[in-house]
């Protein structure tokens, strides 16, 4: 019978390797499984959108362009409302190379209504349209992302206003900053209607509530 004697330094090396392997396994498990699950849960538990919500948009001077999508759950701006489609509205900002001017492209999905700056009437938009940032000075662009439409009119929708203003950057430069605001949720939001995916329903029309 032979007795295997392991040198003490080797014991410490094996222990360190074991601890390191366990730590690496725990780290990978967190990165690959736990953190994504926590992120999904946090998004699912996030509060519904509210009227008055604002998103400030400042275009990076090096990239000179930025894309924003509005949709239900997988878009940049998550409305979490039943009937809203993914990437239902896409706004693309492109900065002029030498000037503080921008070209803004509006790319609609289904059931999007649009009022251009200086326009008086909001209308359905079915193909991409382009306008210049200077058109927003003293005006705004309006978008209605609709969940349901009847007779070419939106019945349930989220209304956005796009505005702009000049700010002074940390480098002392005058920059144009855009602001996208939820100005209206029509007819309302049912805050008690969250489902398992974190999707909310629109509220009922007042006429229906009065009839009951």
Q: Which residues contact 169 (CB under 8 A, 6 or more apart)?
A: 175
| Residues 71 and 101 grouped into a single domain | yes
| Residues 89 and 159 grouped into a single domain | yes
| Residues 81 and 132 grouped into a single domain | yes
Is residue 111 in some structural domain?
yes
Specify whether the CB–CB gap between 168 and 51 falls below 8 A.
Answer: no
Question: What residues are paired with 124 via a beta bridge?
Answer: 113
Please report the pLDDT score of residue 146 as a whole number. 98
Is residue 2 in some structural domain?
no
| Residues 96 and 175 grouped into a single domain | yes
Is the four-CA dihedral 158, 68, 115, 137 of positive or negative sign? positive
Is residue 198 in some structural domain?
yes
| Residues 179 and 129 grouped into a single domain | yes
| Residues 179 and 78 grouped into a single domain | yes
Please report the pLDDT score of residue 90 as a whole number. 99
Rounded Cα–Cα distance for residues 58 and 141 (Å): 17
Domain count of the fold of the chain: 2
How do beta strands 65-71 and 77-78 pair?
A: parallel
Sequence-ordered alpha helix ranges (H) in the chain:
8-29, 35-44, 206-211
88 φψ region: left (φ > 0), alpha (ψ -120 to 50), beta (else): alpha
| Residues 104 and 154 grouped into a single domain | yes
Please report the pLDDT score of residue 212 as a whole number. 38
| Residues 23 and 98 grouped into a single domain | no
| Residues 155 and 99 grouped into a single domain | yes
Please report the pLDDT score of residue 168 as a whole number. 93
Rounded Cα–Cα distance for residues 21 and 187 (Å): 56
Please report the pLDDT score of residue 167 as a whole number. 94
Rounded Cα–Cα distance for residues 185 and 202 (Å): 8
| Residues 66 and 15 grouped into a single domain | no
Is residue 3 in some structural domain?
no
Distance of CA 133 to the CA centre of its chain: 21
Is residue 81 in some structural domain?
yes
pTM, full prediction:
0.78
Specify whether the CB–CB gap between 206 and 188 falls below 8 A.
Answer: no
Domain that holds residue 31: 8-45
Task: Render the burial of 74-85: b for 16+ CB within 10 Å, e for the rest.
Answer: ebebbbbbbbbb
Tens place of pLDDT per residue across the chain (212 aa): 555 555 567 667 777 777 777 777 777 766 776 766 566 556 666 777 899 999 999 999 889 999 999 999 999 999 999 999 999 999 999 999 989 999 999 999 999 999 999 999 999 999 999 999 999 999 999 999 999 999 999 999 999 999 999 999 888 889 999 999 999 999 999 989 899 889 999 998 865 444 33
């Amino acid at each position: 019978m032979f007795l295997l004697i392991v040198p003490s330094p080797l014991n410490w090396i094996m222990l360190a390797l074991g601890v390191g392997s366990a730590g690496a396994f725990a780290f990978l498990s967190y990165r690959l499984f736990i953190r994504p699950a926590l992120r999904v849960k946090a998004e699912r538990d996030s509060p519904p959108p509210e009227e008055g919500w604002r998103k400030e948009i400042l275009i990076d001077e090096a990239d000179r362009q930025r894309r924003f999508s509005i949709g239900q759950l997988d878009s940049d701006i998550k409305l979490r409302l039943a009937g809203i489609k993914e990437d239902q509205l896409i706004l693309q900002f492109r900065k002029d190379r030498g000037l503080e001017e921008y070209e803004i492209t509006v790319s609609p999905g289904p059931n999007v209504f649009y009022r251009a700056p200086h326009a008086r009437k909001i209308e359905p938009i079915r193909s991409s349209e382009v306008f210049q940032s200077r058109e927003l000075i003293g005006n705004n662009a309006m978008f209605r992302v609709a969940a349901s439409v009847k007779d070419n009119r939106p019945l349930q929708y989220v209304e956005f206003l796009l505005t702009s203003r000049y700010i002074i950057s940390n480098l002392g430069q005058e920059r144009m900053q855009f602001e996208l605001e939820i100005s209206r949720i029509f007819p309302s939001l049912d805050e008690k209607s969250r489902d398992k995916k974190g999707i909310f329903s629109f509220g009922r029309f007042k006429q229906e509530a009065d009839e009951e």
